[in-house]
Homo-oligomer: A and B are copies of this chain.
Amino acid sequence: MITRMSEEESRALLRAGRLARLGCVADGGPYVVPVNYVFDGEFVFSHSLPGRKVDAMRAFPRVCLQVDELRDEARWQSVIVFGTFEELEGRAERERALGLLLSLFPRLTPVESLIAADAGAPAPVVYRVRVERVTGIREG
């Protein structure tokens, strides 16, 4: 029996999660990639090397994030977030976001870490998703 989760339950799952599947529209079609993220209650923060995903979100900032917790086939929860991509370009906001991400993902490689500021590496894109709507369903 699949039931709808309340917005509060959906947001709690989003806050507990670390891995989302990010959906965006690239070259006019859907594009889905796994991303690590942090949700601070208002925004979902993430970062990326430059590439197709970032190009897509800059061109078309409507995005979707799907996060789930799967215990087994009969017991799972899944939430979907609809929101808008916002690139962080100011030094202070980039550092705050990267600090949040580094605190949860200490394994970020130097090339991914703005704080490491390797002059030869491409600068990572730091972004947030402004969360506009969260829905969730569960079974079990």
Contacts and interface: CB of A to CB of B under 8 A. Distances in A.
Interface string A55-89: 00000001111101010011000101010000000
Identify the interface centre among A23, A63, A66, A78: most chain B CB within 10 Å of its CB: A23
B33 A80 contact: yes
Interface in A85-120: 105, 107
A33 B82 contact: no
Interface in A11-56: 19, 21-25, 28-34
A74 B21 CA distance: 18
Interface residues of A, number: 27
A32 B80 contact: yes
Contact of A30 (B30, B68, B73, B105): B30
A124 B3 CA distance: 18
A107 B73 CA distance: 8
Given A32-B80, A33-B80, 19 more contacts: A19-B70, A21-B32, A22-B32, A23-B32, A23-B64, A24-B30, A25-B25, A29-B64, A29-B82, A30-B30, A30-B31, A30-B63, A30-B64, A31-B64, A31-B80, A32-B32, A32-B65, A32-B66, A34-B78
7 closest residue pairs by CB, A with B: A23-B30, A23-B32, A32-B66, A29-B62, A21-B21, A30-B64, A23-B23
